[in-house]
Amino acid sequence: MKALVWHGAQDIRCDSVPDPRIEDDRDAIIKVTACAICGSDLHLYDHFMPGMEKGDVMGHEFMGEVVETGRGLNGTLRKGERVVIPFIITCGECDQCKRGFFSVCERSNRNGHLAAKAFGHPTAGLFGYTHLTGGYQGGQAEYVRVPMADRTHIKVPDELSDEQVLFLGDIFPTGWQAAVQADIQPTDTVAIWGAGPVGQMAIRSAILLGAKQVVCIDRVPERLEMARAGGAITIDNSTESTVERLNQLTAGKGPEKCIDAVGMEAHAPRALEQAYDRVKQALMLESDRATVLREMIYVCRPAGILSIPGVYGGLVDKIPMGALMNKGLTVRTGQTHVNRWTDDLVKRIADGQIDPSFVITHRGSLEDGPELYKTFRDKKDNCIKVVLRP
Amino acid sequence: MPASPSRPAPSAHPLTSDRRRRPDPTTLQVARGLGWFSLALGVAEVTCGDAIARWLGMPRSGPLVRAYGVREIVQGAGILGSQDPTPWIWARVAGDGLDIATVLPGLADDRHRGNALFALAALGGVTALDVLCAQGLSHAPLNPSEAVRADYGRRSGFPKGVEAMRGVANDVRPMDIIGPEAMRPWTSAA
């Protein structure tokens, strides 16, 4: 079969690889009908995340049709059913899964010992996202093996198109969880850093959850345009001061809720800060650039909440702990507990409350994938979200 | 499902950018700084070429250093005077390579090895800055065209409109995530 395969930094190729096969009774094989390139795939593309190996198949946002099932699925999934696959693999049986904290499933990461070395404890297995998270092959392919498939799936109604439901596997519930865990009140100003796909979903989620005012910070004009379309006030941090504008918009008090939808590869608008972080990264003295975290801590209203869906992989530097502690800020973060939210979100799409396909700007085949990775990474041609059809 | 006004319509003509890049101000500041650095270094090399060559242990290379100085002045003027400094910064990267190759033989001269090492360290730092700046400029996003702005400006994601959807999900309050209740605000602040 054809698949997008990681060969090294900025080197992803459309290769022929062996078809996946059932390896465990709880497995299913999915014929992929649509898959997306996620912003977090770019951390692998640029090799910011450790733990990739040559030959790994990329992709964790995908959907398709069940074509083969293991003997242990007990009727939960049948051939021919149409499913979106969440990017996290969940066993459904461990303590964390029973509590609904699927992204920290204790059993699905077959390389949990590696994750435990890095993070202290294992976290859930992920598709196509390094050997720290299990080394499972990803979904930017014609077929995928889905482990623990009896729990790792989202059934979707036939009347909804692939493009309407595809993002239930990652960016939509990720933006949703980011907004939900910010505990948005009707009087809140919610500031969202990053107008990429997750930021766009977080804006719409904050509106649905009833925020009085949503403010989005970015520097890419077409992304800011799309953010405004979704109801956000925008700040172009290449031309104006984020802190000054946020204070203006909140009578000097700062936003109650701040969401970091940027993560480890943030660009600082201040030359000195950007140079500092780039040099420390180059010297391997830090792995992630904490620009957005610093700004959120500084500008957030005391007793406010910081929600962090943006991906971080390792160590950051110069976190203003004094401000964080003395302002009494609450930090909520984590990979997304996808299945916790998706039943509700499917209904909201079916009810016409939201149509997540608004974010798609580029479409292509798997063969187009390597070029579209570059287009997406470089934000060329107004690229915000890429969907591939194998 | 009825067609949603927010869904992107498939287009026979893909939306394209105009061809101007929009680097972030940080990268532009660095580029301008490198431009002034080029000018200053170039003037120094042109006026003190012989002394610099002797300091590096290459007493017969004065004319070469002065030629490099002219190159630096041209590059500096190019960076500061052009609308798009990208090719000029890449030219600096190439020049850095030439400079390093010129200084390297100085390591074999016992009397001037320290000076050559100092010069190579400085060149290494400047080269790293040049490469980072050139990459930042080359990867900067293109400006969106008017057609793109208009299209993205219609993509609300809310088929029934933004204001109709504000607060429709305000009953979503998973207490195990947003709790404990005792720590939540007593009132919504005005």
pLDDT in tens, A10-49: 999 999 999 999 999 999 999 999 999 999 999 899 988 8
DSSP per position, A351-375: TTS--GGGG--EEEEGGGHHHHHHH
Give the pairing of strands A257-260 and A189-193.
parallel
What sign for the dihedral angle of Cα A372, A376, A377, A379?
Answer: positive
Q: Please judge whether A358 and B155 are an interchain contact, meaning their C-beta atoms are less than 8 angstroms apart.
A: yes
When scoring A276, A382, A389 by the number of chain B Cβ atoms within 10 A, the one with the most, hence best to mutate, is A382
What is residue B3's predicted lDDT score, i.e. its pLDDT?
38
pLDDT (0 to 100) of residue A378: 83
Higher pLDDT, A23 or A270: A23
Q: Cα separation of A257 and A216, whole Å?
A: 12
DSSP A312-342: --S------HHHHHHTT-EEEE-S--HHHHH
Q: If DSSP codes are grouped into helix, strand and coil, which group holds residue B166?
A: coil
Structure token digits, residue A307? 């929600």
Looking at the predicted structure, is the pLDDT value of residue B79 above 80? Answer: yes
**Looking at residue B11, what is its pLDDT?**
43
Q: Is the peptide bond before B23 cis (omega within 30 degrees of 0)?
A: no
Cβ(A125)–Cβ(A133) under 8 Å?
Answer: yes
Res A230: pLDDT: 98
Distance (Å) from the C-alpha of residue A46 to the closest C-alpha of chain B? 13
Tokens 């939509």 belong to: A172
- Best probe of the A interface among B19, B22, B151, B158, by most A CBs < 10 A, is B158
The answer on pLDDT for A102 being more than 90 is yes
Residue B108's pLDDT band, with cuts at 50, 70 and 90, is confident
User: Which of B166, B176, B184, B188 would you mutate first to test chain A, the one with the most A CBs within 10 A?
Assistant: B166
Whether the predicted pLDDT of B6 surpasses 50? no
Residue B157 has pLDDT above 60, yes or no: yes
Chain B contact for A161 (CB, 8 A cutoff): yes
B28: part of which helix (H) or strand (E)?
helix B25-47
Side chain identity at A243, as an amino acid letter?
A: V
The whole-angstrom separation of Cα B130 and Cα A115 is 36
Tokens 């990652």 sit at which residue?
A170
- The pLDDT of residue B5: 40
Choose from A358, A372, A383 for mutation: most chain B CBs within 10 A: A358
Per-residue pLDDT, averaged over A240-251, amounts to 96
CB within 8 Å: B184 and A225: no
Q: Which of B86, B132, B142 to mutate against chain A (most A CBs within 10 Å)?
A: B142
Rounded CA gap, A184 and B153, in Å?
25
Distance from CA of B19 to the nearest CA of A (A): 9
Q: What is the mean pLDDT of residues A112-134?
A: 93
pLDDT above 50 for A137: yes
Query: Do the Cβ atoms of A188 and B188 come within 8 Å?
Result: yes
User: Which positions 127-166 of B are in contact with A (Cβ < 8 Å)?
Assistant: 128, 132, 139, 141-144, 148-149, 152-160, 162-163, 165-166
Q: pLDDT by residue (tens digit) across B17-73?
A: 666 777 877 888 899 999 999 999 999 999 999 999 999 888 889 999 999 999 999
Q: Does B4 touch chain A (CB under 8 A)?
A: yes
Q: Which residue has the higher pLDDT, B124 or B142?
A: B124
Mean pLDDT, rounded, of chain A? 95
pLDDT number for residue B188 = 61
pLDDT at B15: 65
**Min Cα–Cα distance to chain B from A70, Å:** 34
Q: What is the pLDDT of residue A239?
A: 85
CA B126 vs CA A17, A24, B65, B67, B97: distances in Å: 43, 55, 17, 19, 11
Domains recognised in chain A with CATH numbers? 2-169+336-389 (3.90.180.10), 172-333 (3.40.50.720)
Confidence of residue B139 (pLDDT cuts 50, 70, 90): confident
Give residue B2's pLDDT.
37
**ipTM of the complex as predicted:** 0.92
What whole-number distance in Å separates Cα of residue A29 and Cα of residue A66?
Answer: 6
In this prediction, residues B77-90 reach a mean pLDDT of 91
Q: Does the structure show a pLDDT above 60 at B153? A: yes
Does residue A362 contact residue B16 with C-beta atoms inside 8 Å? no
Question: Cα separation of A57 and B71, whole Å?
Answer: 47
Could you tell me how far CA A347 lies from the centroid of its own chain? Answer: 21
How would residue B4 be classed by pLDDT, with cut points 50, 70 and 90?
A: very low
Residue that the structure tokens 């083969």 belong to: A68
> What pLDDT is recorded for position A49?
83
Q: How many CB pairs under 8 A join A and B?
A: 170
Would you call A181 and B178 a contact, using CB atoms and an 8 Å cutoff? Answer: yes
Decide: A335 and A105 in contact? Cβ < 8 Å: no
Using 50, 70 and 90 to split pLDDT, how confident is the model at B13? Answer: very low
Check B26 against A268: CB less than 8 A apart.
Answer: yes
Q: What is the pLDDT of residues A296-314, one digit of tens each?
A: 999 999 999 999 999 998 8
Q: Does B175 touch chain A (CB under 8 A)?
A: no
Model confidence at A283, pLDDT cuts 50, 70, 90, reads: confident
A353/B157 Cβ within 8 A: no
Residue range A72-89: mean pLDDT, rounded: 96
Residue A366 has pLDDT above 90, yes or no: yes
Contact B139 A377 (CB under 8 A): yes
pLDDT at B26: 80
Q: Which of B22, B177, B188 is closest, CB to CB, to A187? A: B188
Q: What is the pLDDT of residue B155?
A: 96
Min Cα separation B23/chain A (Å): 9
Give pLDDT tens digits for A183-215: 999 999 999 999 999 999 999 999 999 999 999
Residues of chain A contacting residue B137, judged by C-beta atoms under 8 Å apart: none
d(Cα A137, Cα A17) in Å, to the nearest integer? 11
Window 51-110 of B, Cβ < 8 Å to A: none
Rounded percentage of chain A residues whose pLDDT exceeds 70: 100
What does the buried/exposed string (b/e) look like for A327-349 if buried means 16 or more CB atoms within 10 Å of the residue's CB?
Answer: bebbebebbbbbbbbbeebbebb
Closest partner residue to A382 (CB to CB) among B15, B24, B178 is B15
pLDDT at B1 over 60: no
pLDDT for the residue B131: 95
For B177, name the nearest residue in chain A, comparing CA atoms only: A181
Domain residue limits, chain B: 23-143
Residue of B nearest to A376 (CA): B141
Contact B56, B112 (CB under 8 A): yes
Cα–Cα distance measured from residue A150 to residue B168, given in angstroms and rounded to the nearest whole number:
32
